[in-house]
Structure 1
Amino acid sequence: MFKLIALTLCLACGASAWAQETQRDDATPPAPSWAPVVEIGSAFATDGMFRGQSGTNSKAAMNAHAFVVSGPLYAGAIWMNKDLGPDNASRAEEDFLVGVTPQAGPLRFDFNVLYAHLVPDDTVDYWEFKAGVETDLPYGVVAAFNYYHSPNYVNFNIKEDVYELTWRKPLDDKWMLSGSAGRLAFGDSPVFRSYNWWDAGVSYNVNPSFKVDLRYHDTNLSRSDCFLRNSCKGRVVLGLAWSTTFAGPDPR
């Protein structure tokens, strides 16, 4: 059971991490353009946190991503290391996703489809769908609501529903406060327990390509509910992220 719970709670974290790392620090949407933009990046952290839990057995984490963006369309791939304990040989996860980010007045939407693959175990591959909306609030706060759904989570005939609220508040052109709170629900599953998580932290943009993040993560799970010992207790995580972009000509 511990192996299966580990798989369930640690898959598909790449897309969420990439979205957080690529959030704009200001609240102004970019001018529409179909010029293709390629983004590559990597991140390192003292722990691989996702939805309040460690996917690296409380050890250091790293990931790398590559995305192509053209107008409201995007597609990409993400790789990250994994440590799901001594009973599981998987040591990496690969995520592939495509999405669209339309805008309607003050609302900015994000819809995507993600395919998660745990290396080398392809028996738990699954699809996850996202619908999100973001808007600007007073005092420079940007807030978003995201909903994720998988009809067959980790290929175990279990429905997964995730409800997430995020916020961020740029303090100046370097510093930003941000956080999230959410609920991961498995319905009436007799195996997996639904739970809540939250995080809050501060980030500093050293330059346009390099960011440092210090963040506290926690859940309402007890130690006995963790798939690995201490994987869901509260902790502070230090992260370093780097990314750069290459823009092509506008085809219009």
Structure 2
Amino acid sequence: MRRPGVAPVRWFHGASCAALVGICLAPTTGALAQADPPTPGGAIGLGNRGWSAADTNRDTPANQFEFSARAGVASDYIYRGTTLSDHGPAAGAAFETRFGAVYAGTTVATVNLPTQPAAELTFTGGVRPKIASIDFDVAVTYFAYPGERLPGETNGINYWEAVIRGDRRIGEDIHVAAGYAYSPNVSNTGARSQYAAAGIGYDVPGRLLPQNLAISFTAAAGYSWFGNQAAQLGGFPLPAYLNWQAGVTFTHKAFNLDLRYYDTNLSKENCFVFTGDPNARTGGRVDPVTNPDGLISNWCGATFVAKAWFAFN
């Protein structure tokens, strides 16, 4: 059973999770697969890490390196519906290099998690092939949390995840995306994790906007489900849940501003079971197996986030 101080569940981070391939990636569907892809600010977020350097596929000459970077701040660091910064502000940066369809990248972000790591680091390698009119992204990401002061019973929460994503544009202004992510041992809890998500975006036509300004409306929803944790953490499966988000992104040259609403269907009791929030309080419904003290957490509820960053290519 999860108690304050036990290694928390910090969910499948990832370059960009992808799938519902059969529905959203049909030959007449998909997103971000046009000659002029939307700006990074207008990409559809499918549960990828908040500071990933590349959210969209870009055409890169076959024999030429290309580099990109971004850095910024946010009022909260929300990942698949749950906060990674205890509903406080966060900062992050990302760097990526590409050679044709092959890429590698790394991110660093401030977090406030129960194990008290110094930061969150990710290391990703993958390939972004374009097949027919769909831009795919297939990658493996390793998540590291150096300097954990309270590594808990599992000796830390480092883990890796594999993801696949597809994006396609429909007409001039609409784009869709879908994806799937899998980890055999999420947050080093012993539980396997799976995540499926899909989203849609609308780019305001440039002819309606001032020069150098882009505006994109995007929304997405995802579903997470898990296997059983290790015996020392109770041996029970983590709670499955839905998460969703919607917002608008303004882009002016290298500057991006995103205003977004996030939420999940996790109860406050299951939010504690899922996150191991060390500030959880009593007063919730008791579950003799997963939450015998009836602890509740607000780490998974409705949240509005303002995020600003600069992106360079």
* Paired letter, 1:134: D
* TM-score between both structures, scaled by the size of structure 2: 0.70
Higher helix share: 1
Alignment-derived partner of residue 98 in structure 1: 125
Higher strand share: 1
What's the secondary structure of 1:233's corresponding residue?
Answer: coil
Alignment-derived partner of residue 107 in structure 2: 78
RMSD (Å), alpha carbons: 2.4
Alignment-derived partner of residue 17 in structure 1: 49
Alignment-derived partner of residue 107 in structure 1: 134
Question: 1:222 is matched with which residue: 244, 249, 267?
Answer: 267
Matched, 1:62 2:57: no
Alignment-derived partner of residue 7 in structure 1: 8
Alignment-derived partner of residue 45 in structure 2: none
Question: Are the aligned partners of 1:21 and 1:241 in contact in 2 as well (CA < 8 Å)?
Answer: no
Question: 1:195 is matched with which residue: 232, 241, 255?
Answer: 241
Question: Are the aligned partners of 2:138 and 2:164 in contact in 1 as well (CA < 8 Å)?
Answer: yes
Alignment-derived partner of residue 186 in structure 1: 226
* Paired letter, 2:95: A
Question: Are the aligned partners of 1:68 and 1:74 in contact in 2 as well (CA < 8 Å)?
Answer: yes
Q: How does 1:82-231 map to 2 (within 5 A)?
A: 82-85=111-114, 88-121=115-148, 123-138=156-171, 140-173=173-206, 174-187=214-227, 190-207=236-253, 209-226=254-271, 227=275, 228=277, 229-231=297-299
Q: Describe the shift of the 1:191–1:3 C-alpha distance in structure 2 as closer, same or farther (beyond 3 A).
A: farther
Q: For the residues of structure 2 that align with 1:192 and 1:186, how far apart are their CA atoms?
A: 6
Q: For the residues of structure 2 that align with 1:97 and 1:224, how far apart are their CA atoms?
A: 33
What's the secondary structure of 2:76's corresponding residue?
Answer: coil
What's the secondary structure of 1:181's corresponding residue?
Answer: strand
Q: CA deviation at 1:146?
A: 0.8
Identity between Structure 1 and Structure 2 (%): 23
Question: Are the aligned partners of 2:165 and 2:177 in contact in 1 as well (CA < 8 Å)?
Answer: yes
Q: For the residues of structure 1 that align with 2:184 and 2:120, how far apart are their CA atoms?
A: 20
Matched, 1:238 2:301: no
Q: Bigger CA drift: 213-222 or 139-148? A: 139-148
Q: For the residues of structure 2 that align with 1:99 and 1:13, how far apart are their CA atoms?
A: 12
- Higher RCO (CA-CA < 8 Å; seq separation 6+): 2
Alignment-derived partner of residue 248 in structure 1: none
Question: Are the aligned partners of 2:169 and 2:175 in contact in 1 as well (CA < 8 Å)?
Answer: yes
Moved over 6 A (4+): none
Matched, 1:38 2:67: yes
Q: Describe the shift of the 1:235–1:18 C-alpha distance in structure 2 as closer, same or farther (beyond 3 A).
A: closer
Q: CA deviation at 1:33?
A: 3.6
Unaligned runs of 5+ in 2: 17-47, 149-154, 207-213, 230-235, 278-296
* Paired letter, 1:199: Q
Q: For the residues of structure 2 that align with 1:118 and 1:19, how far apart are their CA atoms?
A: 15
Q: For the residues of structure 1 that align with 2:52 and 2:108, how far apart are their CA atoms?
A: 15
Q: For the residues of structure 2 that align with 1:157 and 1:172, how far apart are their CA atoms?
A: 47
Q: For the residues of structure 2 that align with 1:199 and 1:117, how far apart are their CA atoms?
A: 26
What's the secondary structure of 1:224's corresponding residue?
Answer: helix
Q: Describe the shift of the 1:158–1:219 C-alpha distance in structure 2 as closer, same or farther (beyond 3 A).
A: same
Question: Are the aligned partners of 2:14 and 2:163 in contact in 1 as well (CA < 8 Å)?
Answer: no
Unaligned runs of 5+ in 1: 246-252
Bigger radius of gyration among the two: 2
